[in-house]
Chains A and B, each alone.
Chain A
Amino acid sequence: MLSLPFSCPPPKNTLSPFQKKPFSPSSSSVTCDRAIGKRNKSNSYLSISLPKLSKVLVSEASNAMPGDEEKEISAGTMDSPEEVELPAGLRRELMPNHVAVIMDGNRRWALERGLPVEQGHRAGGQAMTELTRLCSKWGVKVLTVFAFSTENWIRPKEEVDFLMMLFEEVTKTFSEEGARLNFRLSVIGDKSKLPKSLNQILARAEQALKANSGLHAVIALNYSGRYDILQVCQKVANHVKDGLIQPEDITQSMFEEQLETTGTKYPNPDLLIRTSGEHRISNFMLWQLAYTELYFVEKMFPDFGETDLIEALSSFQQRQRRYGGYKYSTSTN
């Protein structure tokens, strides 16, 4: 069971945080996309692939991050990521563009200490804010956190209500931090079930931080991987029913463009971190995790701090990502 700092009450969906591309039957391929190893073309993970690695090692003078076609200049008071020194052992060119986190263990953390569950969620909220700061500082471009799953509604009403309230508080704090540290904020999930007040606060925060160019923080609220895939199915089915497209126009790339994660530059996580020792995806981003490196850590989320993040990033940087092919380097394995 996920123990998450935020709960999302179901307000009306007044937001469309992501610019989803409209269906265009004339431009989509007629046959089903039989791409051999092809992913979404905007996915720049392939630029971290091993053939380039040896070149990157040689030209360390270049501070350009993989896939970073445009230089993002920080508008805030923070130094641009290229100037901040990374912790020892981490390499800038191997930083993941997109990190996703399943923030599990808040309740168990509290129970272990004889504290009420609400304290656990508060501690989780603080850990999340700190995690966002560190990711932003070290050059992660997108951070997605699994705050509330579509399955979490079955929790006791008092806990769910508390989480809703806590989330409103954290969003306000986040908005202030974001203004100072150049974050952007988006929310994915079925917002129609979230309380109206929470949705209003989220909308205000998103609007206020919209122009920022730094870390893009994505909060998954009342979200699940299957929900995301299903919502694409509904859209696609309605378009076919209305004769706008044919079933054979439904390709992988067209599908991906309609997922809720499509609004970020790096929609698919490079690294997923799950705390509390559970080795499961728990219905988080399923489509998007196809090639994501998974990292499981025993600690409960409120205890997940800077050292743990460094270990996770370090583990990621040592992994061999092959995407079904094989390494091209001549070094022995």
Chain B
Amino acid sequence: MDKGRTNQATQMFENLGGILRKFIFSILSIGPVPSHIAFIMDGNRRYAKKQNLIDGDGHRTGFSALMNMLKYCYELGTKHVTVYAFSIDNFKRSPEEVQSIMQLMQEKIEGLIEEESIVNRYGIRVYFLGDLKLLNKPVRLAAERAMGATAKNSKAVLSICIAYTSLDEITHAVQESVEEKCDEIRVLNTSGAGYHHREHLINVTDIEEHMYTAVAPNPDIIIRTSGETRLSNFLLWQSAFCILYSPSVLWPEISVWHLVWAVLDFQRNYSYLEEKKKQA
């Protein structure tokens, strides 16, 4: 009986919370709303330590926090969300932790494409961005299945950076654009059309087209939790003009209020950011 009442009370609070949240979002939406927010989800292990959990449970709680933040972002009207799930640098951690994270990721990726998942509810298309060949086969296959299953969704986009670093991404984009450009030149030369020499073989657009993150515009805000103020090899090129926000809260404890604060900061800087976009 008591359990039933507790559940009802929880449900009621959640509903009230939802109404309050939607009200706040509707006020925020009067001003400009960021079209792309990126998250560095830092602090899962510290949270686990703080709560006396095993490391793996910190990552699990972190996943729930991610689902909540996605919900809030999409309710607010932000179409693109990018998250830094696993860096190439993270392979340096203990094999047990890497294995545990890989297992969790496989489980959660498969969960994403289930009927009642948030991805289908909000019409989210999912991308996995990074050097996917570095992942073990089950995770890579799960990622490819998820990308295929959500390919038709078009309301919003979730980009999950996995086996990713920005330096790897830039190097890879340069390799591909150079290869493409040189192939073009070769074709022109062999066909007799000739190549008209230009001072700049490669321009900004060429590189950006070949970035893993070409599926989304540059982020408006990058939020890194746990108080660390560094980019850690995440979206270095793309972050040139965006706002950086580093609340001290650990990732599993992030709340809608942090998002509200970040959006208010974005609105305060909006005219500057727009000017920079035009110049770039």
Q: Chain A interface (Cβ within 8 Å of chain B)? A: 1, 32-37, 151, 154, 224-226, 229-230, 232-234, 236-238, 240-241, 247-248, 250-252, 255, 278-283, 286-287, 289-296, 319-320, 323-326, 332-333
Nearest residue (CB) in B for A288 is B236
Q: Pick from A237, A247, A255, A283: contact of B241, CB below 8 A.
A: A283
Nearest residue (CB) in A for B239 is A281
Per-residue A-contact encoding for B82-119, CB less than 8 Å = 1, 0 else? 00000111111100000000000000000000000000
| Residue numbers in A under 8 Å from B69 (CB-CB) | none
Q: Is the CB of B230 within 8 A of A292?
A: yes
A330 to chain B, nearest CB (A): 13
Choose, from B23-31, B136-144, B173-181, the stretch at the interface.
Answer: B173-181
Q: Is the CB of B237 within 8 A of A280?
A: no
Known contacts A230-B204, A236-B178; A286 and B240 CB within 8 A of each other: yes
Contacting residues of chain B (115-168) with chain A, CB-CB under 8 angstroms: 131, 134, 165-168
User: Told that A234-B201, A286-B237 touch, could you supply 19 new A-B pairs with CB distance under 8 A?
Assistant: A1-B272, A32-B171, A36-B91, A151-B276, A225-B237, A229-B170, A230-B204, A233-B178, A237-B178, A240-B178, A240-B179, A291-B233, A320-B228, A323-B232, A324-B90, A324-B92, A324-B233, A325-B92, A333-B49
Q: Is the CB of A37 within 8 A of B240?
A: no
Known contacts A34-B134, A229-B170, A294-B244; A250 and B93 CB within 8 A of each other: no
Q: Is the CB of A289 within 8 A of B231?
A: yes
Q: Is the CB of B92 within 8 A of A36?
A: yes
Task: Give Cα distance in the complex from A326 to B97, angstroms.
Answer: 11
B187 at the interface (CB under 8 A from A): no
Q: Is the CB of B175 within 8 A of A241?
A: no
Nearest residue (CB) in B for A296 is B229
Nearest residue (CB) in B for A251 is B171
Nearest residue (CB) in A for B42 is A322
Nearest residue (CB) in A for B45 is A326
Q: Is the CB of A34 within 8 A of B182?
A: no
Q: Is the CB of B179 within 8 A of A37?
A: no
Contacting residues of chain B (219-238) with chain A, CB-CB under 8 angstroms: 228-233, 236-237
Task: Give Cα distance in the complex from A324 to B176, angstroms.
Answer: 26
Q: Is the CB of B178 within 8 A of A34?
A: no
Top-6 shortest CB links A-B? A324-B89, A237-B201, A37-B89, A247-B179, A283-B240, A325-B92
Nearest residue (CB) in B for A325 is B92
Q: Is the CB of B92 within 8 A of A279?
A: no
B161 to chain A, nearest CB (A): 13
Q: Is the CB of B279 within 8 A of A247?
A: no
Q: Is the CB of B171 within 8 A of A250?
A: yes
A123 to chain B, nearest CB (A): 23
| Residue numbers in B under 8 Å from A32 (CB-CB) | 168, 171-172, 175
Task: Give Cα distance in the complex from A296 to B236, angstroms.
Answer: 18
| Residue numbers in A under 8 Å from B178 (CB-CB) | 233, 236-237, 240, 247, 250
Per-residue A-contact encoding for B46-67, CB less than 8 Å = 1, 0 else? 1001000000000000000000
> Could you pull out 23 A-B pairs where Cβ atoms are within 8 angstroms?
A32-B172, A33-B168, A36-B89, A37-B89, A151-B279, A225-B237, A230-B207, A233-B202, A234-B202, A236-B174, A237-B181, A237-B182, A248-B175, A278-B269, A279-B243, A282-B241, A287-B167, A290-B233, A292-B231, A294-B229, A294-B231, A323-B92, A324-B90
A284 to chain B, nearest CB (A): 8
Task: Give Cα distance in the complex from A157 to B237, angstroms.
Answer: 29
Known contacts A151-B276, A233-B174, A236-B174; A252 and B167 CB within 8 A of each other: yes
B3 at the interface (CB under 8 A from A): no
A326 to chain B, nearest CB (A): 6
| Residue numbers in B under 8 Å from A324 (CB-CB) | 87-90, 92-93, 232-233
Known contacts A248-B175, A290-B236; A233 and B88 CB within 8 A of each other: no
Q: Is the CB of A280 within 8 A of B242?
A: yes
Task: Give Cα distance in the complex from A319 to B272, angstroms.
Answer: 31
| Residue numbers in A under 8 Å from B237 (CB-CB) | 225-226, 229, 286
Task: Give Cα distance in the complex from A230 to B259, angstroms.
Answer: 34
B5 at the interface (CB under 8 A from A): no
Nearest residue (CB) in A for B171 is A252
Q: Is the CB of B171 within 8 A of A255?
A: yes
B261 to chain A, nearest CB (A): 12
Q: Pick from A1, A37, A283, A287: contact of B170, CB below 8 A.
A: A287
Q: Pick from B241, B243, B245, B279: contact of A154, CB below 8 A.
A: B279
B196 at the interface (CB under 8 A from A): no
A295 to chain B, nearest CB (A): 7
Task: Give Cα distance in the complex from A217 to B135, angstroms.
Answer: 42
Task: Give Cα distance in the complex from A37 to B166, angstroms.
Answer: 12
Task: Give Cα distance in the complex from A236 to B177, angstroms.
Answer: 11
| Residue numbers in A under 8 Å from B228 (CB-CB) | 319-320
